[in-house]
């Protein structure tokens, strides 16, 4: 049996052990996320979740902007350990949760749910359903939901794993009520190795 089953925590811990800043998804600044979080009108005092946040520097920027109730949830303890170490004392202001988003019962409801490049690893219906159950259980009425996934003309794999590519329209249809598509945009992410990855960003609003 493999020591790093496809897509499990050990797979991701091993990926991050190779160097967070050389992974294809690394961003020195989480610029599209920050722009959409602002566009969503997020209240810095309200609870915000970075679902599959890994070692992203989004949390650093949000803390600097005064966001006071941030949770990062990820399958990989190693990824979150990288962020905690980077943040130092400020890491204590953040709630860190080790979780498989496809089987997660959120402990509370968030006003903003952000996911850059986690949902697209859920390629089968049951895993997507599990994630969507968590999304429904874990968001407040009026919540903003920001999901970035590889676009239909984006890569077919990431970190050695297959992904499901989404257009914003298909993603909004998959997520369904009570979430409605509010805004969509395309992004070309430049990887540390100089490659290009086409992302689709989708902002949805929970209608009650």
Ligand X SMILES: C[S@@+](CC[C@H](N)C(=O)[O-])C[C@H]1O[C@@H](n2cnc3c(N)ncnc32)[C@H](O)[C@@H]1O
* Residue 15 tokens, joined: 């990926």
Does 74 bind ligand X (CB under 6 A)? Our answer is yes
Residues 199, 147: Cα–Cα separation, whole Å? 10
Does 118 bind ligand X (CB under 6 A)? Our answer is yes
Q: Which residues of 98-136 are buried (b: 16+ CB within 10 A; e: fewer)?
A: ebbbbebebeebbbbbbbbbbbbbbeeeebbebbbebbb
Cβ pair 128, 174 in contact under 8 A? yes
Does 82 bind ligand X (CB under 6 A)? Our answer is no
Cβ pair 116, 149 in contact under 8 A? no
Nearest Cα neighbor of 48 from 83, 22, 40 is 40
Select from 60-68, 113-121, 133-141, 173-181 the region that touches ligand X (CB under 6 A). Answer: 113-121
Does 54 bind ligand X (CB under 6 A)? Our answer is yes
How many residues touch ligand X under the rule CB under 6 A: the total is 20
Cβ pair 72, 113 in contact under 8 A? no
CB of 162 to ligand X, least distance (A): 12
Closest CB to ligand X among 142 and 160? 160
Closest CB to ligand X among 47 and 54? 54
Binding flags for ligand X, 11-30, as an x/- string (CB under 6 A): -x------------x-----
Select from 52-60, 170-178, 183-191, 197-205 the region that touches ligand X (CB under 6 A). Answer: 52-60
Does 75 bind ligand X (CB under 6 A)? Our answer is yes
Closest CB to ligand X among 102 and 200? 102
Select from 50-58, 59-67, 167-175, 179-187 the region that touches ligand X (CB under 6 A). Answer: 50-58
Cβ pair 157, 192 in contact under 8 A? no
Please report where in the chains the tokens 């160097």 appear, as a residue. Answer: 19
Among 36, 42, 48, 116, binds ligand X (CB under 6 A): 116
- Residue 4, CA distances (Å) to 79, 119, 171 in order: 15, 20, 29
Please report where in the chains the tokens 């006003």 appear, as a residue. Answer: 111
Closest CB to ligand X among 123 and 207? 123
Q: Under the rule (CB under 6 A), what is the footprint of ligand X?
A: 7, 12, 25, 52-54, 56, 74-76, 79, 99-102, 116-118, 121, 158
């Amino acid at each position: 049996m493999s020591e790093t089953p496809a897509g499990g925590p050990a797979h991701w811990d091993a990926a991050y052990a190779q160097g967070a800043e050389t992974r294809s998804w690394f961003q020195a600044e989480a610029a599209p996320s920050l722009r959409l979080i602002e566009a969503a009108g997020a209240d810095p005092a309200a609870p915000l979740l970075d679902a599959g946040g890994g070692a992203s520097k989004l949390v650093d920027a949000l803390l600097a902007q005064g966001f006071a109730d941030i949770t990062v949830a990820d399958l990989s303890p190693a990824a979150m350990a990288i962020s905690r170490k980077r943040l130092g004392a400020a890491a204590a202001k953040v709630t860190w949760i080790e979780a498989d988003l496809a089987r997660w019962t959120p402990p509370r409801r968030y006003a903003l749910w952000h996911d850059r490049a986690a949902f697209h690893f859920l390629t089968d219906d049951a895993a997507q359903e599990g994630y969507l159950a968590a999304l429904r259980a874990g968001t407040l009425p009026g919540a903003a939901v920001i999901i970035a996934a590889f676009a239909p003309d984006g890569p077919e794999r990431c970190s050695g794993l297959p992904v499901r590519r989404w257009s914003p329209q298909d993603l909004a249809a998959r997520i369904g009520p009570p979430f409605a598509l509010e805004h969509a945009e395309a992004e070309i992410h430049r990887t540390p190795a100089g490659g290009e990855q086409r992302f689709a960003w989708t902002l949805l609003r929970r209608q009650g």
